[in-house]
Each structure stands twice: as C-alpha cells, then as structure tokens.
Amino acid sequence: MSRTLLECLAERYPAAKRTTLRRMIQAGRVRINNVVARSASQTVEASDQLTTEDRPSINSQPPRASALPVVYEDDDILVANKPAGLLTATNAREKRQTLLALVREHVQARHPRAQVGLIHRLDRDAAGLLVFSKNHRAYLSLKQQFLEHTVRRQYEAIVHGVPKEPSGRIESRLVERADGTVHATREFGKGELAISHYEVIKSAGKSARVKIVLETGKKHQIRVHLSSIGHPIVGDPLYGPDSDSPPLMLAATQLGFAHPRDGRPMKFEIEPPVYFKVEQ
C-alpha cells in the first residue's frame, strides 16, 4: 500500500513534529531509492527504500566565505552559485547570513578596499547563478546591462502539470502588494511590464521541466507568470498549491553578459540541483 513520504517519516520518527520532518525533506536529507526526495506529499510504495541522513553538526558561527560557491572570479567580477535557502541580501537589521556578505568577506580578505556591488537578486528559496561587481566601474557597467535587458538570464523550473503549448511568451504588468506578494494587474498605468519566454524540455504525467528566459527581471516574475498560465512551480507556497513547503523547484542555470572591462562575451551555465525531478 502506498503512503505519502510525510506519513512514512511520521511513523519512523513518532516524536518529531510535522514541521521538523518537512524541513528534513527540504534540506535534502531524505532519499527514496537513493534519490533525493523533493516533497512531503511524494508517494512511497511498500517496496521503496527510504533513507535519511543525520543532521549536520550545529555550529554557532555562520557560514564563512571559505564555503562560498564561486563559479568564476577575476579583478572585476565574481559569479557565484547561490544555494537554495540562502538570502541574496537584506537590510542591516537582519541577522541571517546572506550571499552578499559572504562575497564581501571573500573579496575583502585579499582586497580590503574592494567595493563589492549587488547587481541582481534571486529569491531566497531559488538556487543558481548571480554576478557581483568588485569595483565601481564594473558595477556601473553591469547595472546598465541589466537596465537595457542585454543580459541573458535562463532558468529551469519544475511545474505542476504539463503546459498545453510546448513554448510561449507571457507578458503582464506586475504590482507588489503590502505583504510582499506580486500580482498581475490590468489597471491602466499600474504595474511594471514583465515578459518571460518558456519552453517545455521534459514532461511526465503530473509535472514538467521547463526552461525560462527573461526579457525583463521583476520580483517573483517567473513564479507569477507560470502560475498565471495554470502551471505554478512545484514547492511554491505563495503562488501554487504547495502548503507543505517542499524545495522551490526554480534555479538560475545560465547567465551571460559583456565583461565590464573589455566587453568580451561571458557565459556561465550550471546544472540545476539534484532534487530537480519530474513526477510521473
């Protein structure tokens, strides 16, 4: 008889709270048949092998720059692969660790007067490529490229269901509400223009893996756009049906821009996280 992963874990760890078990799944500490599980609602058959990994040892110190996932670095820029769950940046009152703080620590350890600049962001629960500037000239160049939409930004996502059209263009005007969520509006003169292009690259019965290329880059743009066509991202509690908070299946997998010093084309590409799986 099949059961949900959460039910199986609750039976194995009867003293644990459901929220604790969900966090185990989100942290990638649960495997089914040696494949990282991605959702508390995932079906587990009686014949499946369920394994869990021990919690990493607790360290009172925050992550250090030595653990920074650097993809590329030179005198002007640093490209990092942000893990899911790490904030890109935040305000001075926020005590949680951020990728920006790690990059600054890493760069300023060798160049104390370096001016590390934040160019763009990823949602906390998204993973993938981000570029940072290491001097003011590089900052101005990269910011201008993003403003002019000449930067290539490609993402991959796992969505609920399979889009009827294998590819398409999504355009809307987005408005941020007081609670931080973003919604499309048809009110004249309201919102910011947002354009995304998607393409299905793999599909199964219950989900699909899609590639998304941004023409603009607005807060939560991909999440809102995919939800607007009836295919929210798996693991998105804000714009989809996933209330059990599995990992957000969204990753920035490709980033391309002109180098700020000499204009040569730079292109970086990574594989999405190991937990990116389409559900049959």
Q: Side chain identity at 201, as an amino acid letter? A: I
d(CA 202, CA 210): 7
* Alpha carbons 37 and 35: distance in angstroms, whole number: 6
Q: What positions carry a catalytic annotation?
A: 123
Residue 218 and residue 205: Cα distance in Å, rounded? 31
